[in-house]
């Protein structure tokens, strides 16, 4: 499935789940269910941001943005992270209030059924979105999938807690599960934040990715003298790679250009959306 269609599907699924959880949470009085409604509301916001950021990041370079618009996805992921932290704090506050002022739950099994249904929907959609994000190398889509799959775990946990409340009448279990959900999603937000925010600072590619680039360069080692000043960075779904290549002094400009074209083509096989820049330098005259 194309990234934009997957993002659109996640918007529809999240809107459905939010309305179900919100109505059920208000009816049953469960802070855990209401917490999950807020969690899903943030998932909905993340899906909307992912939908628009994917569209905008695919715009070609222009006069104002000569390096493209890829970092829009990183900015979107960073905003999503902040939203998750805000939600986590809100859930903890509400859960503490419920612990200090406990109140009975109404029809907890109804809440459990809704949570289980929401978990199933988000599991199916989350796997679809994650597959689309991996194929497109889209950090916004992968972040959106993380939101959805995190919701699966937390919804399943709430469903289990409501079943236990129904069986034991231990109502404090509801806010305690709410606090656990908050801590879990804040931990996931931290991991998402690192992946989204660091590329805004032009952090290099991973060691594994750079090693793959070096292996490609080494496969052409008999055609040039050496290379240096290898630099890499990520911008949304794109990788930016540049280096200096020293060629024999007798090599013509045309031959050097053909060599660079072949190296770039090989890099593109492993990094289809990479922007590669190779600066040619002649071998220094030897005495």
pLDDT in tens, 83-102: 778 777 877 887 787 788 77
Q: Please check whether residues 212 and 173 belong to one and the same domain.
A: no
Task: Count structural domains, the chain.
Answer: 2
pLDDT of the residue at 241: 95
Mean pLDDT of the chain: 82
pLDDT of the residue at 270: 92
Domain that holds residue 270: 207-282
Do the beta carbons of residue 242 and residue 209 sit within 8 Å? no
The rounded percent of the chain whose pLDDT value lies above 70 is 95
Q: Please check whether residues 274 and 178 belong to one and the same domain.
A: no
What are the backbone angles phi and psi of residue 202, rounded to the nearest 5°? 60, 40
Q: Please check whether residues 219 and 183 belong to one and the same domain.
A: no
Q: Please check whether residues 160 and 183 belong to one and the same domain.
A: yes
The rounded percent of the chain whose pLDDT value lies above 90 is 23
Q: Please check whether residues 187 and 226 belong to one and the same domain.
A: no
Q: Please check whether residues 93 and 184 belong to one and the same domain.
A: yes
In a domain, 287, yes or no: no
Q: List residues bridging with 268 in a β-sheet.
A: none
Highest average pLDDT, of 9-18, 44-53, 74-83, comes from 9-18
Q: Is the pTM of this model over 0.85?
A: no
Both tokens of 74, joined, read 């990183």
Q: Which of 142, 172, 201 is the last residue of a domain?
A: 201
Asked whether residue 285 carries a pLDDT value surpassing 70, the answer given is: no
**Three-state DSSP class for 244?**
strand
Q: Which of 153, 176, 201 is the last residue of a domain?
A: 201
Q: Please check whether residues 263 and 123 belong to one and the same domain.
A: no
Q: Please check whether residues 267 and 189 belong to one and the same domain.
A: no
pLDDT tens-digit readout, 27-70: 888 777 877 787 777 777 777 877 777 777 767 777 777 777 77
The helix, strand and coil proportions of the chain, stated in percent and rounded to the nearest 5, come to 70, 10, 20
């Amino acid at each position: 499935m194309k990234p934009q269609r997957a993002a659109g599907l996640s918007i529809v699924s999240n809107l459905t789940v939010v309305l179900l959880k919100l109505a059920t949470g208000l009816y049953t009085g469960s802070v855990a269910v209401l917490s999950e409604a807020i969690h899903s509301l943030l998932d909905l916001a993340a899906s909307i941001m992912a939908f628009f950021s994917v569209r905008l990041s695919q715009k070609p370079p222009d006069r104002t943005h000569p390096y493209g618009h890829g970092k829009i996805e990183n900015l979107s992921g960073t905003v999503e992270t902040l939203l998750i932290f805000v939600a986590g704090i809100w859930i903890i506050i509400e859960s503490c209030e419920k612990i200090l002022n406990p109140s009975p739950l109404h029809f907890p099994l109804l809440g459990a059924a809704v949570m289980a249904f929401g978990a199933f929907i988000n599991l199916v959609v989350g796997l679809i979105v994650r597959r689309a994000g991996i194929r497109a190398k889209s950090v916004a889509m992968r972040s959106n999938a993380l939101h959805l799959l995190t919701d699966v775990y937390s919804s399943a946990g709430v469903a289990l807690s409501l079943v236990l409340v129904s069986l034991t009448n231990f109502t404090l279990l509801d806010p305690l599960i709410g606090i656990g959900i908050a801590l879990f999603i804040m931990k996931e937000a931290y991991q998402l934040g690192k992946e989204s925010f660091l590329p805004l600072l032009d952090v290099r590619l991973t060691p594994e990715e750079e090693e793959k680039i070096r292996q490609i360069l080494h496969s052409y080692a008999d055609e040039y003298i050496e290379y240096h000043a290898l630099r890499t960075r990520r911008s949304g779904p794109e990788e930016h790679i540049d280096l200096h290549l020293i060629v024999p002094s007798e090599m013509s400009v045309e031959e050097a250009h053909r060599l660079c074209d072949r190296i770039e083509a090989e890099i593109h096989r492993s990094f289809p959306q990479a922007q590669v820049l190779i600066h040619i330098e002649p071998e220094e005259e030897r005495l």
